[in-house]
Amino acid sequence: MPALASIHIYPLKSGAPLPCAQATVEPRGLQHDRRWMVVDARGKFLTGRQQPRLTLIRAAPADEGLHLAAPGMPPLAVAAPPPDGARLPATLWNDALAPRLADAAAHAWLSELLGLDCRLVYMDTACRRGVRPDYARAGDEVSFADGFPLLLISQAALDALNARLARPVPMLRFRPNLVAADTTPHAEDGWRRIRIGAAEFDVVKPCTRCVFTTVDFERGAFAADGEPLKTLASYRRTSAGVTFGQNLIPRALGTIRVGDAIEVLA
């Protein structure tokens, strides 16, 4: 039976991954996953696609706020924005949002690291964002993730890719929340509903990959050879684009743990 090999969250969108032995599944995804985001001075979201140095930021939840660290920068504790604090009109893809605005020290820290004027924003419970209706049920929500609450990839899929590459890449190039062990390559493509621990998920859509997969997150820079996207495109291209991994929407909430069985329900 497939098993859950690893769990990762990304407290800051496009920031470094944070491994977890267990996680709480919430309607928007894993607790603390992608609840913070960097935007430019106009409120437009920024990711590693435009700013690969974002991947150097190690963000960790701390006392309802966030702890930030990055090479060459002093660590910074960011307080949770107050309930009556300012909100900043922001855009994430086609979604118009009103997240809470972090404090000036956070903006200055990020602006220095990235070399441009930017802001840090927080998704509280009042900042709601729906999942694409063609893949969702009424009321489904998502965090600041690109489109869906969670992403799952099988380890075997990565192994099959790395067998084709001159230089293997780590799984975290693809920024999954969940990694499945003990499957055939891309077994997740045939799953429609799964149970992990106390949680259940609909498997709703293949994840379409982009240039972000070419960012070496340990250097905060694009790979000069365009890999692994170039090789993926040679055998994983579909009418929707190059796919790798599957997006999930929670249907039953609860705690999941590394080592949990992954039961394929449909």
Average pLDDT estimate for 25-32: 98
- DSSP one-letter code for 161: H
Residue 99: phi, psi to the nearest 5?
-75, 165
214 and 259 in a single domain? The answer is yes
This prediction has a pTM of 0.97
| pLDDT at residue 63 in the model | 83
Instruction: Count other C-beta atoms under 10 Å from residue 181's C-beta.
Output: 15
Shared-domain flag, residues 15 and 137: yes
Residues 6+ apart with CB under 8 A from 170: none
Phi-psi region of 213 (alpha: psi -120 to 50; beta: other; left: phi over 0): alpha
CATH number of the domain residue 231 falls in: 2.40.33.20
* Same domain? 104 vs 50: yes
Give per-residue pLDDT as tens, 176-233.
999 999 999 999 999 999 999 999 999 999 999 999 999 999 999 999 999 999 999 9
Q: Which domain holds residue 109?
A: 36-122
Report the domain count for the chain. Answer: 2
Say whether both 213 and 258 belong to one domain: yes
Q: What is the mean pLDDT of residues 156-167?
A: 98
Q: Sorting pLDDT into bands at 50, 70 and 90, what band is 118?
A: very high
